[in-house]
Amino acid sequence: MSPHLATSSSLAPCPHLSKARPLLRASCSTPAFAAAPAIEARNLSFSVSTRPPGKLVHILKNCSLCVPPGQLWMLLGPNGCGKSTLLKVLAGLLNPSDGTMHVNRPRSFVFQNPDHQVVMPTVEADVAFGLGKFSLTLNEVRSRVSKALDAVGMLEYSQRPIQTLSGGQKQRVAIAGALAEACKVLLLDELTTFLDENDQIGVIKAVKNSVAGPGEVAALWVTHRLEELKYADGASYMEDGRIVMQGDISSVSKFLKEKQTWYN
């Protein structure tokens, strides 16, 4: 399942963005995106064919987005609008039916349920788990594990049994595992859904710290929670399979506030 790779570095503006709405600042052709984007999608569509009578269901419709390296972007939208599907397409877990994309490698997908991503008995062993495929010395493994755990604020937990961790701490260990493998893109699917407020903030801060580090990591974070928007560098808002608005946080927040006013 290899995704289509785009060769161009510019993004066409989203065709579904109303001209009356705030400026689309996620276009890779704007000066803010002078660096090559870490994630670039152009007019991605994804459809599935249902069982008899074989109707084609269009889940993603011409989605374009752009995330620069070293930034955290959020993907927002109501239930069922296609956020997780878009993330899975970007992760290479689903093949788009149309459109092109480029995602820096290695890329890591972190799932919603914290218990689905930790596999080893201790924190340190879990973060080191994926490093077996590289030819690293023991010292190199230790160094990568320590740096990754430090980035997510979990260094002091390195010897802890995994089952003693909270959900958010498990998420942070999963992110550390990706960082230890020098991942360039983190695709994060509603990580905070099952977490209490403390754990939620701990995970967001861990992701912020990961993208702020020297590795030029980019993160795309799917969420329902508007209060998480303030931690992001930018956001895309989806409805019914389309990205209808994207840009910096103040533009997206203003757009969402106006939208609430329209509905109330």
| Binding-site member from 12, 48, 119, 212 for ligand ATP (CB under 6 A) | 48
Element (H, E) at 39: strand 39-49
| Binding-site member from 6, 59, 67, 185 for ligand ATP (CB under 6 A) | 59
Query: Does 49 help bind ligand ATP (rule: CB under 6 A)?
Result: no
Task: Calculate the alpha carbon distances from 138 to 126, 142, 166, 230, 257 in Å.
Answer: 15, 6, 28, 40, 52
DSSP state letters, 202-258: HHHHHHHHHHHSTT--EEEEE-S-GGGGGG-SEEEEEETTEEEEEE-HHHHHHHHHH
| Binding-site member from 79, 139, 261, 264 for ligand ATP (CB under 6 A) | 79
| Binding-site member from 3, 68, 77, 247 for ligand ATP (CB under 6 A) | 77
DSSP SS3 for 67 = strand
Query: Does 85 help bind ligand ATP (rule: CB under 6 A)?
Result: yes
Query: Does 95 help bind ligand ATP (rule: CB under 6 A)?
Result: no
CA distance 32 to 48: 35
Residues numbered 197-236 forming contacts with ligand ATP, rule: CB under 6 A = 224
Query: Does 169 help bind ligand ATP (rule: CB under 6 A)?
Result: no
Of 16-24, 83-91, 135-143, 247-255, the segment contacting ligand ATP by CB under 6 A is 83-91
Q: What residues make contact with ligand ATP under the rule CB under 6 A?
A: 48, 57, 59, 77, 79-85, 224
